[in-house]
Amino acid sequence: MWWSEPRLARRRLLTLAGLGLLAGCGFRLRGTTALPFRSLHLGFDPLSPMGQELRRQLAAVPDLRVVDDPRQAEAVFEVLDDGLQRGVGSRTAAGQVRELTLHVRLRFRVRRANGDVWLEETLLTLSQPMSYNETDALAKESEESQLVRSMREDLAAQAVRRLAALQR
């Protein structure tokens, strides 16, 4: 019979062993984040892309309301600095830009409703080099916006993890 062939039986045994190893490695999906408060005020400028990204990620947290009035919040996310910088990473011998470096930063602290500091001033930064060519300026502009969006998503996820690590 076809299932009793030694090669096929060996292949099935190896496949089952591999699945067994994956099941035993401790892998599990991240799941939802539990925060130690039920309402949060975000102190971002309303047009801040970083604020919009953090708000989007916090929308997935169960039992959390993001409120506009800090007096209605159990926690206040105070934004001290939210910025993006572009710097020249390197130039050609002719002085043309060859590489840019993108820096995204978020400096914040979290206060309780009574004004006590819950999380001291925290600085999250990401830097990403990006090649540059003047002849492909439009494509590089699109690449830069995608990189910046990705970096902001990563910073927002880091901020949510910091919030989740807070103790009641």
- The pLDDT tens digits of the residues spanning 137-157 come to 788 889 999 999 999 999 999
pLDDT in tens, 99-139: 889 999 999 999 999 999 999 999 999 999 998 887 787 88
Q: Which residues have C-beta within 8 Å of that of residue 82, sequence separation ≥ 6?
A: 44, 45, 48, 50, 51, 105, 106, 107
The residue among 22 and 34 whose pLDDT is bigger is 34
Q: Give the DSSP H or E segment for 140.
A: helix 137-164
The residue among 167 and 22 whose pLDDT is bigger is 167
Q: Does position 24 have pLDDT exceeding 70, yes or no?
A: no
pLDDT at 79: 97
Pick from 45, 130, 47, 115: nearest CA to 80: 45
Q: Does position 168 have pLDDT exceeding 90, yes or no?
A: no
The residue among 48 and 20 whose pLDDT is bigger is 48
Looking at the chain, the whole-number percentage of residues with pLDDT higher than 90 is 60
pLDDT at 13: 73
Which single residue is written with the structure tokens 């130039």?
Answer: 91
How far apart are alpha carbons 149 and 88 in whole angstroms?
20
Contact assessment for residue 10 and residue 18, using Cβ atoms and an 8 Å cutoff = no
pLDDT at 26: 63
**Confidence at 90, pLDDT banded by 50, 70, 90:** confident
Q: Which residues have C-beta within 8 Å of that of residue 110, sequence separation ≥ 6?
A: 75, 76, 77, 78, 117, 118, 119, 163, 166
Q: Where are the beta strands (DSSP E) in the chain?
A: 39-42, 65-67, 75-91, 97-112, 117-131
Identify the DSSP state of 137. Answer: H
Which single residue is written with the structure tokens 């159990």?
Answer: 74
